[in-house]
């Protein structure tokens, strides 16, 4: 769900969290690495509000990486 105001934090089934901005961008674990946006932009919701049998699906334009995975790979 894209927030109407401020930032919405979404928790995954594994307990990881992602921040969804009001413009539909999603900050994941790679955001913390400080890469330039042209190298690693945040994921963006490209097809919101698709009905599914168990809820609503929002399509995004790239894979999001949990912060714990980034920390394990970078030693941080």
Highest mean pLDDT among 2-6, 7-11, 46-50: 46-50
pLDDT higher than 80, residue 51: yes
Task: Tell me, rounded to whole angstroms, the distance of Cα 61 from its chain centroid.
Answer: 10
Query: 41: pLDDT confidence band, cut at 50, 70 and 90?
Result: low
Which ranges of the chain does DSSP label H, i.e. alpha helix?
Answer: 67-74
- What CA–CA distance (Å, rounded) separates 63 from 53? 23
Please indicate whether residue 76 or residue 8 has the higher confidence score (pLDDT): 8
Domain extents in the chain: 8-62
pTM recorded for the entire structure: 0.54
Contact at 8 Å (CB) between 32 and 19?
no
Please report, rounded to a whole number, the percentage of residues in the chain having pLDDT higher than 90: 1
């Amino acid at each position: 769900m894209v927030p109407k105001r401020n930032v919405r934090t979404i928790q995954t089934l594994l307990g990881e969290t992602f921040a969804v901005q009001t413009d539909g961008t999603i900050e994941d674990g790679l955001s913390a690495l400080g890469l330039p946006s042209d190298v690693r932009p945040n994921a963006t919701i490209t097809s919101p509000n698709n009905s599914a049998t168990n809820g609503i699906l929002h399509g995004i334009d790239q894979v999001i990486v949990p912060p714990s995975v980034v920390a394990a790979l970078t030693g941080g």
